[in-house]
């Protein structure tokens, strides 16, 4: 049809092929291509335009192309509306459910959460409130990261809601986001019947006023973010993330919270999937956004297939190839039959021919084996690695980053981007408010490198307590996690970091620091050992919590204590408990 | 090119002395990358009496990349996706296990071996794998039913649409039928 011939982005800004008709339409997920064609026009599923093979046969029920050009969302229409939106107009069915569980008496009476340490689990509605808060906070964060396209529709500070920024300074516990659209959500929430939302944004969107004027390029950030994780498929992953965001917009609030399913946050994903399959089972799939393990698996499988060599041995270095011994075929090498062939090209080898011999004594045509070694550093016959010990270690190190060096990567090059969905410092990394970033990165790189070495040599140290040695494994992780949730100002940031450090080191060490720290330590110190092996998820929650606590008295143990408790149980238990 | 030469040699070898119960031919004579193989279901198995079409596709940089082998005929088997793609889970063909010294003869023999001895511990179809382990009678009954339904009569290689594109992707993109990924 009309889709042929106009490169490079043939389908941008024009109609799509009709996927609902009887012919199957295939869509190329390469973000620079986005070509689409009728499947019966080509024998293969490879994209005829760009040659990419991350393509999809479009299922009309969730068309990925809608995601790439999402319809404009008319946010303003309800943002200032004083009337509560009923479930019918609400695109989020889960929200309606939550409303149903609120007692009338609670509506309008809870603009802030009461500080009731330890309470909450006993009270169903309370639990629900806190759950909602957590949901909303994640929602805000997810949206921050995932809807770049919407930023432009919400110019910063139109006159109508300037006063909401004032809240930021008037009330400790009102920490409205500087990001306009999040703030709009806040407005909407506080004007609706459920006042939970206001508190939730206290938690997540403390971006700091400096950020509101910064134009954001979240798309690029997500590329950065996914690239270290997925290699060349970062672009695709970015598309997935974008899809998650757009799907979320369709689904409303609950859907957006599920966004992190496409994100890098490990255990958090699982948690969110759980939450959303629970609350909003019908919103499991929106376009390419998935909220179930099965669907996620499918996407991951697709990504892995798009990059099928990710598990294979790394290429041999040129120096290792150069060091290989050249031999000339002699009688002995021919073996009992008196003939030999190069197992790669299957050509016969004659006496006197020059061959390249590997450390495992297998030998091949030089050209043949070099072609292979440039892809994989193993023997084509026995798969023994080539190269001397140094070489092997280096190649091991090259393979290991996938697992071990993750925290380090996160801290250095990809720090900002990896943290971006939750960290205002990420998007605004260059902004003046975050001048402390570079030295921190350098320092932590060194620390982490040391730690990594320790980790490599003494894998068992992982099991020991902090007093018997540096806690190698989880600490970098927890650091980066915590940082990722820190607010953007240097002051608060340092507190958060300090708290996390001292917390891990010793529960009693930081009583001398300022009283906020000691408050934190009082809350968290006793459980430090659990936290050390705890999930990132819990860590990040606590970080959020701790920031919450700094903001004033309003947060209390809030949604976190019960979540933490639940987190310890099995998945099923937590599900059930959350439901209560 | 060296790889073309090797393909030609291997084709010659496999057509002259194919593994038991197999016949090897090119899909069309001008394309050495696309092999059509017919496999007689090994005697003594539930697949006995069936004729299975297998498509073997050689990448351009074979032998440095593994060939792609798919069943063109539907087959009820723990290690073959139960869909039109017919993707096969064969350890030696996985990118991280492939080595250039592996000959196509060995690959084909391994496919046949897979019919004789399914590997339920490394399944593509977990349900069928479970059935194979726990209820062998039921499994064999189902496998025979599939043979009767799909693997009788002349082998059709076009049953798997665009199998050349790399079967694995098909299973996830087209049908999502693969319940396990291994």
- Per residue of chain B (182 residues), give pLDDT as tens: 567 888 888 899 898 888 888 999 888 888 889 999 999 999 899 999 999 999 999 998 888 889 999 999 999 999 999 888 888 988 888 888 888 888 899 999 999 999 999 998 888 888 999 999 999 999 999 999 999 988 888 888 774 444 333 333 333 333 333 344 44
User: Which domains can be identified in chain A, with CATH numbers?
Assistant: 1-69 (no CATH), 318-394 (3.30.40.10), 413-556 (no CATH)
Q: For chain A, give the mean pLDDT.
A: 54
Domain region containing B125? 2-150
Cα pseudo-dihedral B125, B131, B132, B137, rounded to 10: -140
Cα distances (Å, whole numbers) of residue A282 to A21, A189, A204, A286, A571: 25, 23, 26, 10, 20
Which residue in the block uniquely carries the two structure tokens 């080595």?
B99
- Give yes or no for residue A154 having a pLDDT over 50: no
pLDDT of B170 reads 36
Are B166 and A305 within 8 A, CB to CB? yes
Which stretches of chain B are DSSP H helices?
2-16, 104-116, 126-134, 136-150, 167-170
Cross-chain Cβ contact A43/B162 below 8 Å: yes
A35 neighbors A10 (Cβ within 8 angstroms): yes
Whether A538 shows a pLDDT value over 90: the answer reads no
- How close A307 comes to chain B (CA, Å)? 10
Q: Does B112 map to a domain?
A: yes
> What percent of chain A stands above pLDDT 70?
25
Please say if the pLDDT value at position A36 is more than 60: yes
Gap from A139 CA to chain B (nearest CA, Å): 29
Is B167 inside any structural domain?
A: no
Asked if residue B145 is part of any domain, the answer here is: yes
Q: In percent, how much of chain A has pLDDT > 90? A: 0
Contacts of B173 in chain A (CB under 8 A): 45, 55-57, 302
B94 belongs to a structural domain: yes
pLDDT at A502: 38
Residues A173-195: tens digit of each pLDDT: 444 434 444 333 333 343 334 44
On whether residue B168 sits in a domain, the answer given is no
Beta strands in A228-313 (DSSP E): 285-286, 289-290
Residue A572 has pLDDT above 80, yes or no: no
Tokens of A236: 């695709």
> Average pLDDT, stretch A80-102?
46
Does any domain span residue B65? yes
The question of whether B14 is a catalytic residue gets the answer no
- Do B7 and B100 touch, CB atoms closer than 8 A? no
Of residues A42 and A114, the one with the higher pLDDT is A42
- Whole-number pLDDT of residue A342: 85
- Does A374 reach chain B within 8 Å, measured CB to CB? no
Give the pLDDT confidence score for residue A266 in this predicted structure.
56
pLDDT of res. B138: 93
Tell me the per-residue pLDDT of A358-395, one tens digit each, with 9 for 90 and over: 888 888 888 888 888 888 888 888 888 876 544 444 44
pLDDT (mean) for A470-477: 41
pLDDT at position A309 is 54
Q: Report the candidate in A176, A263, A196 with the shortest Cα–Cα distance to residue A551.
A: A176
Rg (CA), chain B: 15
Q: How many domains does chain B divide into?
A: 1
What pLDDT score does A348 carry?
83
What whole-number distance in Å separates Cα of residue A10 and Cα of residue A144?
29
Tell me if B132 is assigned to some domain.
Answer: yes
- What's the CATH code of the domain at B97? 3.10.110.10
* CB within 8 Å: A305 and B94: no
Q: A314-344: per-residue pLDDT in tens?
A: 788 888 888 888 888 887 777 777 777 888 8
The answer to whether residue B157 is domain-embedded is no
More confident residue, B139 or A447: B139
Q: Which residue of A has its CA nearest to B176?
A: A298
CB atoms within 10 A of CB A348: 10
Q: Which of A130-134, A141-145, A204-208, B62-66 holds the top average pLDDT? A: B62-66
**pLDDT score for A545:** 44
Does residue A78 belong to the interface with chain B, where contact is any CB pair within 8 Å? no
């Amino acid at each position: 049809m009309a889709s042929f011939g106009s490169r490079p982005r043939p389908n941008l800004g024009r109609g799509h092929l009709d996927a609902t008709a009887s012919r199957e339409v295939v869509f190329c997920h390469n973000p620079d291509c986005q070509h689409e064609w009728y499947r019966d026009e080509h024998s293969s599923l490879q994209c005829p335009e760009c040659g990419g093979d991350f393509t999809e046969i479009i299922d009309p029920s969730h068309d990925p192309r809608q995601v790439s050009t999402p319809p404009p969302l008319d946010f303003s229409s309800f943002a200032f509306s004083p009337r509560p939106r009923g479930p019918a107009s609400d695109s989020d069915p889960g929200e309606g459910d939550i409303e149903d569980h609120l007692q009338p008496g609670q509506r309008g009476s809870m603009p802030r959460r009461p500080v009731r340490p330890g309470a909450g689990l006993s009270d169903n509605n309370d639990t629900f409130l806190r759950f909602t808060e957590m949901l909303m906070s994640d929602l805000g964060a997810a949206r921050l990261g995932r809807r770049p396209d919407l930023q432009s529709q919400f110019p910063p500070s139109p006159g109508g809601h300037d006063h909401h920024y004032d809240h930021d300074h008037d009330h400790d516990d009102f920490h409205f986001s500087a990001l306009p659209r999040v703030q709009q959500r806040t407005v909407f929430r506080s004007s609706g019947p459920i006042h939970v939302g206001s508190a939730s944004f206290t938690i997540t969107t403390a971006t700091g006023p400096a950020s509101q004027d910064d134009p954001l390029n979240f798309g690029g950030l997500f590329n950065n973010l996914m690239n270290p994780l997925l290699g060349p498929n970062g672009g695709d992953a970015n598309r997935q993330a974008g899809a998650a965001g757009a799907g979320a917009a369709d689904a409303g609030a609950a859907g957006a919270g599920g966004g992190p399913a496409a994100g890098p946050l490990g255990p958090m994903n699982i948690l969110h999937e759980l939450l959303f399959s629970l609350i909003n089972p019908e919103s499991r799939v929106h376009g390419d956004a998935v909220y179930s393990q099965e669907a996620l698996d499918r996407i991951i499988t697709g990504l892995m297939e798009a990059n099928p060599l990710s598990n294979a041995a790394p290429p041999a270095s040129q120096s290792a190839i150069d060091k290989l011994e050249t031999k000339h075929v002699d009688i002995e090498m021919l073996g009992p039959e008196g003939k030999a062939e190069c197992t790669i090209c299957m050509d016969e080898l004659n006496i006197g021919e020059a061959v390249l011999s590997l450390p495992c004594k297998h030998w091949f045509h030089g050209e043949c084996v070099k072609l292979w070694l440039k892809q994989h550093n193993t023997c084509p016959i026995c798969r023994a690695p080539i190269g001397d010990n140094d070489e092997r270690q280096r190649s091991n190190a090259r393979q290991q980053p996938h697992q071990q060096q993750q925290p380090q990567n996160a801290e250095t090059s990809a720090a900002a981007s990896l943290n971006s969905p939750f960290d205002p410092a990420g998007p605004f990394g260059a902004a003046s408010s975050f001048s402390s970033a570079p030295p921190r990165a350098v320092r932590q790189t060194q620390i982490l490198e040391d730690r990594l070495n320790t980790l490599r040599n003494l894998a068992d140290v992982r099991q020991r307590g902090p007093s018997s040695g540096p806690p190698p494994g989880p600490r970098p992780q927890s650091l980066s996690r915590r940082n990722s949730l820190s607010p953007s100002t240097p002051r608060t940031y340092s507190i958060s970091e300090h708290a996390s450090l001292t917390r891990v080191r010793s529960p009693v060490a930081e009583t001398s620091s300022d009283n906020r720290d000691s408050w934190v330590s009082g809350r968290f110190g006793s459980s430090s050992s659990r936290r050390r092996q705890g999930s990132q998820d819990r860590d990040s929650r606590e970080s959020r919590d701790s920031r919450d606590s700094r903001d004033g008295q309003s947060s209390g143990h809030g949604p976190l204590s019960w979540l933490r408790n639940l987190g310890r149980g099995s998945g099923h238990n937590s599900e059930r408990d959350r439901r209560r | 090119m060296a790889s073309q030469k090797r393909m030609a040699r291997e084709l010659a070898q496999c057509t002259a002395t194919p593994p038991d119960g197999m016949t090897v031919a090119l899909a069309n004579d001008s394309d050495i990358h696309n092999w059509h193989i017919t496999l007689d279901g090994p005697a003594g198995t539930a697949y006995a009496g069936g004729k299975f079409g297998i498509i073997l596709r050689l990448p351009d940089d074979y032998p440095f990349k593994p060939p792609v082998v798919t069943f063109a005929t539907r087959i009820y088997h723990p290690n073959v996706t139960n869909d039109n793609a017919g993707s096969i889970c064969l350890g030696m063909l996985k990118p991280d296990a492939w080595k250039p010294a592996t000959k196509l003869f060995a690959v084909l023999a391994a496919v046949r071996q897979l019919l004789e001895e399914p590997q339920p511990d490394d399944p593509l179809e977990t349900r069928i794998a479970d059935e194979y382990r726990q209820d062998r009678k039921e499994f064999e009954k189902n496998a025979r039913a599939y043979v009767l339904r799909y693997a009788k009569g002349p082998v059709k290689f076009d049953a798997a649409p665009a199998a050349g594109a790399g079967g694995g992707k098909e299973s996830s993109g087209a049908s999502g039928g693969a319940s396990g990924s291994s």
